[in-house]
Amino acid sequence: MNTTYFAELSRQLTARGMPDEEVAATVADLSGYLAESGSPDAREEFGGPDAFADRLTRSDRGERPGAADETWKWTSDIYTDRLLLNQYGAEGWEVEGIDFAGRFVCRRSPGAAMRWEYRRESTQGAKDREALTVELAPDGWELCGRWLYMAYFKRPLAASDGPAATLTTTPAPPARHVFFSAKYRGLIAVFAVSVILLVLGIGFDVIDLDRPVVYWAILVAAALGGLAGWYGVKRDITRGAQSPHRPKAVTEP
């Protein structure tokens, strides 16, 4: 079923003028994303191939991206994403989606850019996400991407600031593409040290792999650690639900 879907999507993208190389790369990215997400049905995940092709080749204003438009892909952790989204949204960067690698795909049109604001919400599946999208729509919020339990929404600042949301000048595109907070780097460091200690313990016979109880201990510790890590991340996502107040701009971490 998905093979037929992607074949039709390729045909629709080609018909809309997307170069063959870009069509192939796009379909490959989407196939990889579908496999990572665990969703069995491409149509349920992305919608009809014709409508999805429109979304991939046209901006939200119904226009194809101009040749002079700036594009930028970047990623961050859950502790900095909302602040950075609003910081760069104030510089005119509009999120058009999140790719299979979890990167925010942004576009900006020099000379016609406007400020954007963003919010992140925790959702429990497609139905919950759809209901939330309908609930937020009257206030101008539009779904612009999702990742795991998180749904991201955008709206132009013109919805609240009026003409002041228009940018007369735009800063240069950021040179960075990866933003990880100190907390995230600390979690990675703890994991790396734990693995190193385990390897050293085995290498110097501190941990005796000839004893079956050691295998069980490692398996139990890995299971408990993985469960605790999953719960902690989900808790942080839920606690990080968007406040009704607009976040203040911050400097880069």
Instruction: Look at residue 16 in the predicted model and tell me its pLDDT.
Output: 81
| Per-residue tens of pLDDT for the chain, all 253 residues | 678 888 888 888 888 887 888 788 788 877 776 676 666 777 777 778 887 787 777 644 444 445 568 889 999 888 889 999 999 999 999 999 888 778 899 999 877 788 899 999 988 877 888 899 999 999 999 999 988 778 999 999 876 666 666 787 888 888 888 888 877 677 677 667 666 666 655 555 555 556 665 555 556 555 655 555 555 555 555 555 443 333 344 444 4
- The dihedrals phi and psi of 176, each to the nearest 5 degrees, come to -85, 155
Residue 225 CB contacts under 8 Å (≥ 6 apart), including other chains: none
Instruction: Look at residue 83 in the predicted model and tell me its pLDDT.
Output: 92
Is the distance from CB of 180 to CB of 186 less than 8 angstroms?
Answer: no
CA distances from 85 to 46, 80, 81 (A): 24, 8, 6
Is the distance from CB of 52 to CB of 13 less than 8 angstroms?
Answer: no
Is the distance from CB of 253 to CB of 79 less than 8 angstroms?
Answer: no
Instruction: Look at residue 232 in the predicted model and tell me its pLDDT.
Output: 53
What is the model's pTM? 0.57
Instruction: Look at residue 226 in the predicted model and tell me its pLDDT.
Output: 54
